[in-house]
Chain A
Amino acid sequence: MNNLALSVNNLSFRYPGQAKDCVHDLSFEIFIGERFGLFGPNGAGKTTLMSLMVGLQKVKQGHIQLLGKDIRKDSAAIKHFIGYVPQDFAFYPELSPVENLDFFGAWSGLDKRTVKERTTSLLEVLGLSDVAHKPVKQFSGGMKRRVNLAIGVIHEPKILFLDEPTVGVDVQTRHAIIDYLKVLNAQGTTLVYTSHHLKEAEDLCERIALIDRGEMVAYDHLSQLLERHGSKDGLEELFLKLTGSAYRD
């Protein structure tokens, strides 16, 4: 078995009724244990690409493989080792973090004892122990983000997809989330990450893919890309250089 966590080959996707591809002929690879960033302006196709990689949208043209398994043929097996933290909160606001994790843990295929153990440790690590039994709807935005993250990682996925996991949170929460993601990565979890916080991305990601209008604009180690394009001021300068400064939405 090779060391690829994910490989995307000639992937194209178009929503019904649209004239143009939302994702057009994309190919890239992510290695096991890597922290990979996916960037692009609004409407670039990042969330659609993420949806295709986690199986929320059906792949009709091209191929996606996760740990050597084809997403079209082995989707049931793939579901056991991937985790997804969507941009929008995806939990039951009426339930407490413990009750949410109890349900999503069971659906992730864990047994009751494991769910209980992992819930306790996750809430501890993410600073939610004190509010473990309060309804999530009473939480601040940052606390909700942490609950959203906890649900995505309770089954300890081998590949974790994160769609803007720190949007709308304060500096403290952002740092806490990034630090926790680094811990997860150190334990062997491959991270596939999108964000608009480019400084945060510089800190977290080893390699990146920059996409615009559904096409690949750049794809390499961050340091090599910066050097190649002469972007001394970092990812933000590179981003503007490659995607332009016009409004996108």
Chain B
Amino acid sequence: MYKFTASITKELRLLLRDKVGLMIMFAMPVLLVLLITSIQISAFELVNNSKVKVLLCNKDKGKGSQEFLSYLNEVGRFDLINVDMTEDDRNVGDYLNDHDAFVALYIPEGFSDQIAKKAEFTAGKALVEFGINESPDTLKMVKVDSLTIYFHPVLQQSLRRSIQGALKSVIQLVESKSMLNALYFSINGKPMPASFEKEMFANQIGIKERTTSHNGSRTIPNAAQHNVPAWTIFAMFFMVISLGGNIVKEKLSGSFVRLKILPTNFIVGLLSKQLLYLMVAMSQVIVIFSMGVWLFPHIGLPALNIPHDWLALIVVSFICGLSAISYALCIGVYAKTQEQANGFGAISVVILATIGGILVPSFAMPKAFQFYMNLSPLHWCLEAYYGLFLEGGKLVDIMASVIPLLGSIVVLQLIAIIGLKKKNLI
């Protein structure tokens, strides 16, 4: 037992004196989580929560455009700001920049009249088609001038489509209402009563929104739910700098050679090293997750919602930590110099994080990459955490992610041990 405690003490002393390694394992991920969550939160909110700022230039003073704008406000997604601008692209661009907006809407003069005339035409045509009226000579098709919508070049295509969809549905509503009014007036010779109109348009078919989950919990995905686990995994794998470097140093300093002739099995050394770094990984989880739970709400970021299944969270964190340790062990065994371990280790972790969905969510990746992400242990770590954080799953629900992760740990450990044997170090 003394051998084991002495080994752990030795590793702890080396770790505590490795200031750069500690900074990389703790300070860097804390900063990354804070910065990236703060940056992403604005993009996330643009898509999910906050209103889209729309510059509005309404050259029409009629009832139709007022109604249109009233319905647009009811949608609740747009923050309309009235401006007086021309239709010239350059002019609109300047306005967008000045107002820090991404969208502008131009309503041409006579828009309301044109809608009203179009409604009269459609209603008249309908009455003819129904055989109620004869075809009057005055019935003439009216073309409504289109609204013009301007987008800032950086605005994503998906958001453009979503805004266009909202505008189209509002226009349709205004047109339908106008047409129904015209039809009512043609048949009854008086305007449609407000109560009837309200009854007709209030009774729309609703859409229920539900987020799927395993246990009925409703965790709303936000930037914290993705970033906190994602950057914790990244931090764990960045252990490669400290642990990988530690192994290279031991090889180069000749300590491995001395240990080989001492009457203690090298497994004791490997186990104590891994156990200590597993504790480091758990500390990273505690520090970064605590920050997500307690610090984030105080600095205007969404709080991290910890999954209900604590045991599963601990098990997954242990497995992710072990996976990171196994990877660092491999790099340390095969790297010939400290520079190789640091350089290759860091770059490879960034690549694995990229293809693993840490930097960009995997669903947003090109199809070709979606195969390669299966090769990244970080991907399986993230999938396991997603299963707990976003879907409220239990351990059994995330086995599809945990099993490949366990497999990769076994493979990486074997590769490391083979490397140590081949290099005559154990």
Residues of A at under 8 Å CB distance from B? Answer: 54-57, 76, 79-80, 82, 84, 86, 88-95, 99, 102-109, 111-112, 135, 151-152
Contacts and interface: CB of A to CB of B under 8 A. Distances in A.
Interface residues on B, range: 20 to 34
B263 interface: yes
Q: Would you call the interface of chain B mostly helix, strand, loop, or mixed?
A: helix
A54 B261 contact: yes
A109 B262 CA distance: 8
A9 B261 CA distance: 21
A91 B255 contact: yes
Given A95-B14, A102-B6, A112-B2, 13 more contacts: A57-B424, A84-B261, A86-B257, A92-B250, A92-B255, A93-B253, A95-B10, A104-B258, A107-B264, A108-B263, A109-B3, A109-B262, A111-B2
A212 to B, nearest CB: 25
Contacts of A105: 6
Contacts of B259: 107
Contacts of B255: 90-92
Given A79-B263, A103-B9, A104-B262, A56 B254 contact: no
B10 A88 contact: no
A54 B259 CA distance: 12
Contacts of A92: 10, 14, 250, 253, 255
B63 interface: no
B273 to A, nearest CB: 12
B13 interface: yes
Contact of A103 (B6, B17, B18, B260): B6
B374 interface: no
10 tightest A-B contacts by CB?
Answer: A106-B6, A90-B254, A79-B263, A90-B258, A103-B10, A107-B264, A107-B262, A88-B254, A94-B17, A106-B3
Contact of A76 (B250, B258, B263): B263
Contacts of B376: none
B13 A95 contact: yes
User: Which of A82, A84, A105, A107 has the most chain B CB atoms inside 10 A of its CB?
Assistant: A107
A61 B160 CA distance: 78
Given A90-B253, A92-B253, A109-B263, A151 B9 contact: no
Interface string B1-17: 01101110110011001
